[in-house]
Structure 1
Amino acid sequence: MTGTTAATGAGAAGVPARPPVILNHLGPVVGARLAAHWSRPTVIARDEAQPPWVVPRGVDVLLTRPLIGWDAAPDTPPAGWLGDLRWIQSASTGIDFYPRWLYDGPHRASVPVTCARGVSAVPIAEYVLAAVLLFEKRLDTIRVRGPQDWTKSTLGGLTGKRLGLVGYGAIGRAVAERAAAFGLQVGAVRRTGWTTPEPGVEPFERLADLVAASDHLVLALPLTDDSRGLIGADLLARAKPGQHIVNIARGALLDQDALLAAVEAGRIAGATLDVTEPEPLPAGHPFYSHPAIRLTPHVSFSGPAVEARLADTILTNLDAYASGRPLHDRVDAATGY
């Protein structure tokens, strides 16, 4: 997806009339890649004593990420916070960590916000397949620690099972591609509906039908006002018996009390949750000790190549910005992603 042009004004041969000034919240690895860019930018490291919305005058580009203080942002934008900004780039795919005024308001046409859509799709897809395999093969529970544990049991399998994708963006596509290699049938629902067929993916028009048909249900959609609490007690009551739920998106998509009740009732056989609401869950929360629920600390996006891919994505957009061309992966304020 592309957005409107946002540039400092390109000169001859695409060289900007003035080198961009970039405030970098993303650390030295990205900073070093930026500094070598052909547009000759001035790269300023973040002053960690300042909240992330403090942008000095003269800064054209803000590169930022969640979990560095945006959760403490005021409800309304501080006076003059935009300063001279012309482009904001997030290191995350989702933008629900930010105050709405970051990406929505009178400035949204002149100061586009772009995200890192697809940067972590591969490691997240690998995490999903690992979770599905671990659920079926039970390697953590059948491990033997002595001859007394040497008993036979029948393991599950993937061939012929259905993996249901709630959301079908870059992450959903990466999951579907890998799931097919294991013989899984893949079904999906998407917010925009289906206009063209996706090879190897069965389109579902209704979420309830996908929930009822899936052995493994994967939540891979952004958190918006419309999707908050999407998977609740009503849908869980319709789930295919023995279903395994994998949430790699946002904890608030799932009613956690309803999930616990469905697991206790035996309707849901297990859940692998890389995200919760809140993060972390408070001490003593039943998810920490429940044998059917596996928690990980919001790390599914991580991998050895992610930082390099993020830098590549940002540099591609910096090419466009400095040349006066449309930016990629622009956030749509109307949809919230």
Structure 2
Amino acid sequence: MVPAQSPVILNQLGPVVGERIAAHPSRPTVLTHEAGHAPWQVPTGVEVLLTRPLIGWEEAPAAPPTGWGKGLRWIQSASTGMDFYPPWLLGGAPVVTCARGVSAAAIADYAMTAILTVEKRWETIRLTGPEDWRRETLGSISGKRLGLAGFGAIGRAVTERALAFGMAVGAVRRSGWAEPEPGVEPFDRLEELAAVSDHLVLALPLTAATRGLVSADLLAQAKPGLHLVNVARGALVDQDALLAAIESGRVANATLDVTDPEPLPAGHPFYRHPAIRLTPHVSWSAPDFERRLADRILANLDAYARGEPLRDVVDAGTGY
């Protein structure tokens, strides 16, 4: 990669990120994405594209448009997951990088909040008047088993917090366990982990191999009373199977920051089910998100300006 001295960058991430990037020592020319233009409509001469999901990529054509990628050297996504983008975006050129780990702390905080909300029965003990005053027996997370499906930056951040609360942590990951992770019991199969977990957090990417991973068969093998927390992608879960498992009592609670589709249609049973908590895909949100994202992009722009390898490159084979 041999970049120009003053790269031309198309910014689709908003003014906060744009202002930070424009001040980079490489003196980039930062163009603003024009309203009404599809995100893949990149002007001639642009070599860096800063983009994010849900700005029209879901309507991208099945094949790359004529002239796509000409002159582009680097695409930076504001998300970790790449499933919102068309497959041709990961065709190998230009190089694509993601925001791996930028939101890990915020998502881990959300996951622990969900676990504490269930164990401490927050919705039950909240007082709305003196008539609600009563004694309740609350749960505890100390000594409980946390299962992690996926052990990247989010899994590590959740583990750090869970261990501080005295939880036992087990995890499965696609790449296996060449070396032990401190405080984490390795599992080879998700079914084995679900069978012993009190709380199971999904923190893995959506790929062809993981779609529908949380199936009726897996839920049938789960520890009775399981609390499922999904901070990854809705399509990881067979939602009909999850509802059936909750109705049967096998699964006690589900906290879902993601669903398939988003949002769920009006009248969907998840909205009013007392054992299901839905949030609008906000687990990543934090006051410093844009600052952290800009810091990550600037670090990569440093490397780009020097002609060095970029970090957090997306593997076209795995899709993340």
Q: Which category describes the TM-score, using the shorter chain as reference length?
A: over 0.9
User: Alpha-carbon deviation of 1:7?
Assistant: 3.4
User: Alpha-carbon deviation of 1:207?
Assistant: 1.0
Residue in structure 1 matched with residue 101 of structure 2 by the alignment? 118
Partners of 2:78 and 2:233 lie apart in 1 by 16
Task: Describe how 1:163-182 pairs up with structure 2 within 5 A.
Answer: 163-182=146-165
CA contact (8 A) 1:56 1:83 kept: no
Q: Give the letter for the 1:209 counterpart.
A: E
Q: Give the letter for the 2:84 counterpart.
A: F
Residue in structure 1 matched with residue 278 of structure 2 by the alignment? 295
CA contact (8 A) 2:49 2:75 kept: yes
Residue in structure 1 matched with residue 2 of structure 2 by the alignment? 7
Task: Describe how 1:251-290 pairs up with structure 2 within 5 A.
Answer: 251-290=234-273
Q: Give the letter for the 1:220 counterpart.
A: A
Please say if 1:195 is aligned against 2:178: yes
Partners of 1:138 and 1:7 lie apart in 2 by 57
CA contact (8 A) 1:237 1:262 kept: yes
Deviates more, 1:179-188 or 1:137-146: 137-146
Partners of 2:233 and 2:2 lie apart in 1 by 33
Structure 1 segments unaligned to the other structure (5+ residues): 1-5, 9-16
| Greater than 3 Å deviation, 4+ residue runs | none
Partners of 2:11 and 2:132 lie apart in 1 by 54
Higher RCO (CA < 8 A, seq sep 6+): 1
Please say if 1:77 is aligned against 2:72: no
Partners of 1:88 and 1:144 lie apart in 2 by 50
Partners of 2:152 and 2:43 lie apart in 1 by 35
Q: Normalising to structure 2: TM-score of the pair?
A: 0.99
Partners of 1:320 and 1:145 lie apart in 2 by 55
Q: Normalising to structure 1: TM-score of the pair?
A: 0.94
Count of equivalent residues: 320
Q: 1:151 aligns with which of 127, 134, 139?
A: 134
Residue in structure 2 matched with residue 47 of structure 1 by the alignment? 34
Q: Give the letter for the 1:55 counterpart.
A: V
Q: Give the letter for the 2:274 counterpart.
A: P
Instruction: Render the CA deviation track for 1:169-199: whole Å, top value 9, x for unaligned.
Output: 0000000000001111000000000010100
Q: Give the letter for the 1:46 counterpart.
A: H
Structure 2 segments unaligned to the other structure (5+ residues): none
Instruction: Render the CA deviation track for 1:236-290: whole Å, top value 9, x for unaligned.
Output: 0011000000000000000000000000000000000000000000000000000
Please say if 1:229 is aligned against 2:212: yes
Task: Describe how 1:233-248 pairs up with structure 2 within 5 A.
Answer: 233-248=216-231
Partners of 2:164 and 2:174 lie apart in 1 by 26
